[in-house]
Structure 1
Amino acid sequence: MNHTFVHRYEIDSSRPSVGSALRDFALRVLAPAVILFGAIVGLGFLIMGPLGGLPSEESISRSLAAGRTSTMNSITAVWSHIGNTEIIIGVCVVAVALIWWRTKQWWYAVIPAIAIAMQASVFVAATTIADRKRPEVPHLDPAPPTSSYPSGHMGASTALYLTFALMAQRIETVWLRRLVTVVCAVIPLLVGYARLYRGMHHLLDVLVGMVNGIVCALLAWHYLRRRTTGGRVTEAAREAVSR
């Protein structure tokens, strides 16, 4: 990923006005999110219409259901719960508060909240319109009122933990930075597998949920205009954000 994109808030740590931040948010997040919503809904109609569902998806769901064990049932229950709405919101609120306190940069601290809010908006609108049925296997989790497509658990966990992974690139200790990045990358994958294993989603539901989360995280990270042309992360910039 481009160096200036990852470190854009270190290269330019200037404080924006609330008004300019809101304008940037409308142009750089809301408008692209409408396009994302249209693409996800269109793909959903394609899956349920001309494609008529993919036989391989049902085969995967049945295979996972047939291979269930009590141990994996317990483990995947934890993994699935990580993507629950209350967990995602709770982790996000705590993270935003800690990052705001640590950096004194509200415009930077709100990025995870923007990511999951946009993911949730696209997901709720798309799942209401698409209204895809869940896999025809026993469901190990309570089925929420939303439809199977796309996966909200996968989208929310991807959006949240991808923003954390981007923020982790500020960590100066190399091994710790790599460890946090890997953990943040693995968590959504565990959530996605758990939702498949527990019969709550088809494979494409999870994959499209992941795309929704990735795009919303990147839009959130890019929501604020920053001066990064020819920029690089200087030691002074690192010291400024660590105070």
Structure 2
Amino acid sequence: MNPSFVHRYEVDQSRPSVGSALRDAALRVLAPAVVLFGLIVGLGFLILGPLGNLPWEEDLSKSVAAGRTATMNSVTAVWSHVGNTEIVIGVCVVVVALVWWRTKQWWYAVVPAIAIAAQASVFVAATTLTDRKRPAVEHLDPAPPTSSYPSGHMGASTALYLTFALMAQRIERVWLRRLVTVVCAIVPLLVGYARLYRGMHHLVDILVGMVNGVVCALLAWNYLRRKAS
């Protein structure tokens, strides 16, 4: 990834007005997110229509469910819970508050909040329109009212922890920066595996959720116009 992109908030620390930040967010996050929504919904209709709901995914879900163990049931319950809405929002609020307090830069601190808000908007609209059924296996988690496609847990955790990983590049101690980055990269993968293991989503639902999270995190990181040097 381009270093100037990763460190854009360090290179240009000028304070924007609230109005200019909102205009930038509308142009650089909201508008592209509408395009992303269209692509995700289009793929969803393709899956449910010409692709016949990808029958091989049901076989995969049944194969994974057949290999469940009591230990992994307990472990994946924790991993899945990390992607719950209340956990994602709670962690986001705490980190935004801490970063705001430490840096005094509200326009930088709010990036994770923008990321999860963007992905949530795309997710809710897409899942409502596509209405894909969940895998035909025992569901180990309570099924939310949303449909299976795309995975909201995966999208939310990816958007949140990718922005944390980008923020972590400010950490001066190399070992700590690398550790935080690796942890932030692993967390969404654990969430995604847990959702597949626990029968809550098809594989493609999880992969598309990840794409939603990645794109929204990058859009959020780039939401504010900054000087390159």
TM range (shorter): over 0.9
Amino acid at match of 1:101: W
Mark the runs of 5 or more structure 1 residues left unpaired by the alignment.
232-243
Amino acid at match of 2:90: G
CA distance in 1, matches of 2:73, 2:179: 27
Q: What's the counterpart of residue 235 of structure 1? A: none
Which runs of at least 4 in structure 1 moved beyond 4 Å after TM superposition?
none
CA distance in 1, matches of 2:175, 2:56: 40
Q: What's the counterpart of residue 70 of structure 1? A: 70
- Aligned residue for 1:162, secondary structure, equals helix
CA distance in 1, matches of 2:206, 2:117: 18
Q: What's the counterpart of residue 198 of structure 1? A: 198
Q: Percent of counterpart pairs with the same letter?
A: 84
Q: What's the counterpart of residue 16 of structure 1? A: 16
Report the count of equivalent residues. Answer: 229
Q: How does 1:11-160 map to 2 (within 5 A)?
A: 11-160=11-160
Amino acid at match of 1:164: F
Deviation string, structure 1 residues 45-65 (Cα, Å, up to 9, x no partner): 001100012232111100110
CA distance in 2, matches of 1:215, 1:5: 14
Amino acid at match of 1:211: V
CA distance in 2, matches of 1:168, 1:63: 38
CA distance in 1, matches of 2:133, 2:97: 38
Amino acid at match of 1:132: R
CA distance in 1, matches of 2:4, 2:58: 43
Deviation string, structure 1 residues 126-147 (Cα, Å, up to 9, x no partner): 0000000000000000000000
Amino acid at match of 1:80: S
Amino acid at match of 1:142: P
TM-score by length of 2: 0.99
1:91 Cα deviation (Å)? 0.2
